[in-house]
Amino acid sequence: MRLSLHCVGGFTGPAGAQTRDVDVDSLPAAKGTRVRGLVQALDLAQLPPTLLKPRPQSWDFTYTLTIDDGTPRQVRFHLDAAPPALRELVEFIERT
């Protein structure tokens, strides 16, 4: 499984865009198990493709997460509009 998190926004806008990639299969077993649990908790089949705030501010960051476990799936979101499992997954990816 591969995860790719693209983040853009804030005061720097597109100039400050960042992408982080994680190969879950290459993580230590405990971390890999944790990430797979978070992905499973997302219930991707029920997760809408966009989770954006109704009135975003110019300094808000917009994230795009791509999860590829053989079938790539993508969700675009503001962190404030994301469910807890998605926020926790973002925190994990940003620390990795």
pLDDT tens readout for residues 10-48? 766 666 789 999 999 999 999 999 999 999 999 888 999
Taking phi over 0 as left and psi of -120 to 50 as alpha, with beta for the rest, 13 belongs to left
Domain ranges of the chain: 2-95
Band of residue 6 on the pLDDT scale cut at 50, 70, 90: very high
What is the per-residue pLDDT for 40? 94
What is the per-residue pLDDT for 13? 60
Mean pLDDT over residues 71-91, rounded?
Answer: 95
> Strand 2-9 vs strand 13-23: parallel, antiparallel, or unpaired?
antiparallel
